[in-house]
Amino acid sequence: MRYAHKFEIYSGQENLEKVPGEPDLGATGNVVVRLLRGVPRMINHIIYFDNFYTSLPLVYFLAKQGIHTVGTVQQNKIPNNKLPDRKTFMKKSVPRGSYEEKVSTLDGVDMSCVAWKDNKVVTLLSTYAGALPVTEVSRYDKAKKETIGITCPFIVQEYNKHMGGVDLMDSFLGRNYITIRSKKWYLRIFFHLLDLAVINAWVIYRKNAMERNHHKKNLLTMSQFRNELAFVLCNKGTSKETKRGRLSTLEDELQSKRKKASPPPKDIRTDGAEHWPTVGGSLRCKYPKCKGYSTISCSKCGVNLCLNKNNNCFVNYHKE
């Protein structure tokens, strides 16, 4: 889903107290345990993380809590590791897509460790997924200059399927961020959290739209969503001021002759602030249920709406 639910800000030192029953799993392992305090135990939730966090003690502790895990792992963190080392796996004699699996049981906890060769060797550790069943994935072969099919273990498929949300969140933060520069560290944290909140809002917006069977082509992109959000926050509950006097520059005249912008978002339309009827030229009423023409327009929304004894589109437009 790519939704950031819970996080910690790294401060360089652990000062948080441990809950009774929590072991000391090192700095990175303790972070995972703290973030999972609100996750129900013994109902087989599955947690995914990368090799910065994965360790045998962490995987074992979570398994005893009824939480399964999948994560990439550094081979030097695996005691009595019997998997082939990277140099052996990366030899030309070992075809791309080759894998090797080692299975072990630690105090009743079954674990599977799989090393798989793609562009480089990837090692994964899990308490619920193993190498089987394998599937075939497409990869480009530089030597043959063509796309080939290679074997892909099940544990790799599971990891890629669910860790993609984390990678996408990082990608969104990298492409869409507040560009205000500041040397003050707390402002950088504030801007980062603001970016995170906007991305979360966009993720929820897309999820709700898809549940209502809206077509993907009609959904706002991240950039469009940020622009509309900024427009609503800047204009909600405010009045639309007009300049007095003559237009001072040619650019102002050109701007005045441009086609009027599209109707405002619903948050602006229904905010109940400074929506005054004004008289102007006769144009088609913008209320969806009306096909008439009106000389009355809204001073803030900039659209013509019927306002007479037969039709009160002006009120309906600003309420619905």
Question: What residue segments make up the domains of the chain, in order of their start?
Answer: 27-166, 177-207, 262-318
- Give the per-residue pLDDT at 238: 63
- Give the per-residue pLDDT at 245: 52
- Give the per-residue pLDDT at 7: 87
- Give the per-residue pLDDT at 68: 96
Block mean pLDDT (10 aa), the chain, length 320 = 81 76 88 91 92 92 95 90 87 90 92 92 94 92 87 94 78 81 87 91 89 85 87 72 51 45 75 85 86 88 86 86
Q: What is the DSSP string of 143-196?
A: TTTEEEEEEE-HHHHHHHHHHHHHHHHHHHHHHS------S-HHHHHHHHHHHH
- Give the per-residue pLDDT at 197: 92
CA 60, CA 81: separation in Å to the nearest integer?
A: 16
- Give the per-residue pLDDT at 239: 58
98, 120 contact by CB (below 8 A): no
Residue whose C-alpha is closest to residue 157's, from 134, 182, 125: 134
pTM, two decimals, is: 0.69
- Give the per-residue pLDDT at 177: 82
- Give the per-residue pLDDT at 166: 72
Exposed, middle or buried: residue 112 (CB in 10 Å: 0-12, 13-18, 19+)? buried
H/E element, 256 = helix 250-257
CA 148, CA 203: separation in Å to the nearest integer?
A: 35
CA 313, CA 319: separation in Å to the nearest integer?
A: 10
